Amino acid sequence: MILKKFIGDKTFYKKVLMLVVPIMVQNGITNFVNMLDNIMVGRIGTEQMSGVAIVNQLIFVFNLCIFGATAGIGIFTAQYYGKQDHEGIRETMRLKLLSGTAVTAIAIIVFIFFGDGLIQAYLHEGSTTGDLQLAFDQAKGYLKVMLFGLIPFMISQVYAGTLRETEKPMLPMAAGISAVFVNITLNYLLIFGKFGCPKLGVQGAAIATVASRVVECLIVVVFTHAQTSKNPFAKGLYRRIFVPVSVAKNILPKALPLLVNETLWATGMALLTRCYSMRGLAVVAASNICSTIINLFLVAIMAFGDSIAIIVGGHLGAGRIEEARDSDRKLIAFSFAVSCVLGLIMGLTSSLFPKIYNTTDEVRSFAAAFIICYAFYLPMNSLISSCYFTLRSGGKTIITFLFDSVYMLCVCVSFTYILAKYTNVPIVAVYAGSLAIEVFKAILGVILVHKGTWINNLVGTPKLSAEKKSCDNN
């Protein structure tokens, strides 16, 4: 009888999979291409791979800032969709564009003026592997090109996020698949100089990534506006760009904490990588290899998180409180079960993936050990992620901020820094410890979700939109 509380019927899982699978396919293909990109660069050498890894860690902070700027507002998008209020969706999308533009402008300025210093912060002596100056030069050249991809990435995320929040994930998936083929093709041509193309190495990889982001952006924007019958929020979207003060006052107090949270959490992840880098360039390279395969396995976990935000947020916006609670419980259980299977697969294949890279035995050994550590952590990661998205779906962004980024910076980063800097604990044990200490976060998340503090309707009483009323009257 207890199990029935955590297991849904066929209709429930069909709805979940219709959301989860397209998101998994898009993100999975994107991460698979990133993995191929990483492997191709890794075939050149350890310094090139490490330089790209450092820049990608910095770009990762920007990516999550964009996620925070759009996802916080997306809480309202999902609830407006549950309410069938298309004008409300338009307002949230306009606010996403304004927020994303501001974040992108700041990021470009930071990378231009402080990029060299940020790269240098990751380069330390401490292992037998690598030329630090060569790694710096490779990273610097890679970053210059990657800056051109920030704007199309931001626009794609605004449109793709809104489409997912309105339960239309197929177009972002198609755009992602198209971008993948562009990336793979240009990677092969430009990294290695095939078919008469210049051999550009890491800069070729950057050009391929930027081109793929432009293609993805064009597809998702053009087709969204070409299909306004399916996407009514796109009608008149650019009739004006500014958002009424009353709307901004309602949304921003909930959305800004999530932006700050994602920024600080991403910064915390970057600081964790820097803590590991204190043990030498071999650890940077190994961490990059590990992160590449981890991101592929995390696709499912993040897709379930998105589905929690969309399904539970829609129920809350429509005033279906008990359905929200029931769906959330079953989604968390489903995600946890899937993560256990994925963790087992990751652990069993941990020694295979590092062998693909043209690097040293020291790097491969570290990478395999890191992957095993993360395989044990994956189910706990699923639980933490599900709790995070549950709290976020009801607009509890202050609690989310404390639960997520404050814990990351105050506990995880501090703990890892002390171990890496002031002890002789082996780096694999340091890595395992930085994951294991999140067990307290998982316990806290379960308690908060069980208490129901996240249950909150942010958009008022459900009502028919103007478009819906018109159809009913006819």
Q: What is the pLDDT of residues 339-368, one digit of tens each?
A: 999 999 999 999 888 888 878 888 899 999
pLDDT at 336: 94
Report if residue 153 sits inside a domain: yes
Rounded-to-integer distance, Cα 250 and Cα 254, Å: 8
Report if residue 426 sits inside a domain: yes
Give exposure, 166-197, as e/b (b: 16+ Cβ within 10 Å): bbbbebbbbbbbbbbebbbebbbbbbbeeeee
Q: Kindly report whether the global pTM for this prediction surpasses the value 0.85.
A: no
1 pLDDT tier (thresholds 50, 70, 90):
low
pLDDT at 400: 78
pLDDT at 471 over 50: no
pLDDT at 458: 67
pLDDT at 3: 65
| Selection from 274, 290, 276 nearest residue 58 by Cα | 274
pLDDT top residue among 210 and 280 = 210
Percent of the chain clearing pLDDT 90 (strictly above): 34
pLDDT at 129: 55
Report if residue 105 sits inside a domain: yes
pLDDT at 305: 85
pLDDT at 307 over 80: yes
Mean pLDDT value across the chain: 85
316 pLDDT tier (thresholds 50, 70, 90):
confident
Report if residue 368 sits inside a domain: yes
Give exposure, 203-230, as e/b (b: 16+ Cβ within 10 Å): bbbbbbbbbbbbbbbbbbbebbeeeeee
Report if residue 469 sits inside a domain: no
pLDDT at 244 over 90: no
pLDDT at 250: 85
69-106 tens-digit pLDDT: 888 888 888 888 888 888 889 999 999 999 999 999 99
Percent of the chain clearing pLDDT 70 (strictly above): 93
Query: In 278-360, which ranges are continuous DSSP H helix?
Result: 281-317, 321-348
CA torsion angle for 269, 270, 273, 277 (degrees, to 10)? Answer: -160
DSSP notation for 236-296: TTTS--S--HHHHHHHHHHHHHHHHHHHHHHHHHHHHHHHHHTT-HHHHHHHHHHHHHHHH
pLDDT at 97: 94
Q: How far is CA 236 from CA 76, 91, 94, 232, in A?
A: 19, 11, 11, 9
| Region 417-445 average pLDDT | 92
CA 438 to chain centre: 19
Domain holding 219, by residue range, is 3-463
pLDDT at 453 over 80: no
| Selection from 359, 324, 337 nearest residue 462 by Cα | 324
pLDDT at 473 over 70: no
Please work out, in degrees rounded to the nearest 5, the angle formed at the alpha carbon of residue 344 by the alpha carbons of 340 and 388. 35
Report if residue 470 sits inside a domain: no
For 183, how many CA atoms within 13 A lie in the half-sphere containing its CB? 26
pLDDT at 468: 43
Packing angle, helices 132-146 and 86-120, rounded to 10: 150
Please work out, in degrees rounded to the nearest 5, the angle formed at the alpha carbon of residue 240 by the alpha carbons of 237 and 245. 110
20-72 tens-digit pLDDT: 888 787 777 767 766 777 778 877 877 888 888 888 888 888 988 898 888 88
pLDDT top residue among 269 and 379 = 379
Report if residue 328 sits inside a domain: yes
157 pLDDT tier (thresholds 50, 70, 90):
very high
pLDDT at 171: 92
Rounded-to-integer distance, Cα 254 and Cα 64, Å: 17
Q: How far is CA 423 from CA 24, 129, 146, 278, 415, in A?
A: 40, 21, 37, 12, 11
Whole-number CA gyration radius for the chain:
22
Q: Which two tokens stand for residue 283?
A: 């650890």
Long-range contacts of 227-233 (CB under 8 A, 24+ apart): 227/171, 230/168, 231/163, 231/166, 231/168, 232/86, 232/465, 232/467, 233/86, 233/89, 233/90, 233/93, 233/162, 233/166
| Region 416-421 average pLDDT | 92
User: What is the number of other CB atoms lying within 10 angstroms of the CB of residue 321?
Assistant: 14
pLDDT at 462 over 60: no
Q: Which amino acid is at 420?
A: A
Question: How many domains, in total, are found in the chain?
Answer: 1
What is residue 466's three-state secondary structure? Answer: helix
Report if residue 471 sits inside a domain: no
| Region 288-298 average pLDDT | 85
Q: How far is CA 299 from CA 48, 295, 366, in A?
A: 26, 6, 23
